[in-house]
């Protein structure tokens, strides 16, 4: 009912870079004071709202997951199978499983209308 308060200095002091994950992540792997924040498109969903003109499908998702290292934060929801993927990797001790073991999750129940519900997840490991 009213305007949000001004947040002019909210991002002050941060370096913000916009590149493909395939180019960006290798530059920062192993560096101190780096937190990876991921919000990839959900695999097999409509992705028209994203500016990237190429489809982010299963192969791109798997390439991304091979690069992920803690500390990280992932945004996800039950509209994707991200948590199932993590459970598979950890449960079967697939290549790189240690990077995800012990992840934590914060979830929020979302109600779009009386028939549409899902869960938003913030998955992290520090």
**Mean pLDDT on 92-112:** 96
Percentage of the chain modeled with pLDDT above 90: 52
DSSP for 61-125, please give it: HHHHHHH--SSEEEEEETTS-HHHHHHHHHHTT-TTGGGTTT-EEEEEEEEEETTEEEEEEEEEE
- Give per-residue pLDDT as tens, 38-85: 998 876 555 555 555 667 888 999 999 999 999 999 999 888 889 999
Q: Which two tokens stand for residue 37?
A: 């924040």
Contacts of 106 (CB under 8 A, 6+ apart): 121, 122, 124
pLDDT value at position 95?
Answer: 96
Going from N- to C-terminal start, the domains of the chain cover 21-125
Helix/strand/coil for 23: helix
């Amino acid at each position: 009912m009213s305007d949000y308060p001004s947040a002019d200095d909210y991002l002050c002091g941060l370096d913000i870079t916009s590149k493909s994950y395939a180019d960006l992540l290798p530059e920062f792997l192993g560096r101190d004071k780096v937190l990876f924040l991921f919000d990839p498109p959900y695999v097999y969903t409509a992705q028209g709202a994203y500016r990237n003109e190429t489809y982010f499908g299963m192969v791109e998702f798997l390439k991304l997951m091979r690069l992920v290292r803690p500390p990280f934060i992932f945004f996800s929801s039950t509209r994707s199978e991200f948590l199932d993927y993590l459970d598979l990797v950890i449960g079967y001790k697939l290549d790189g499983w240690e990077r995800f073991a012990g992840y934590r999750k914060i979830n929020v129940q979302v109600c779009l209308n009386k028939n549409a519900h899902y869960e938003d997840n913030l998955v992290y490991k520090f």
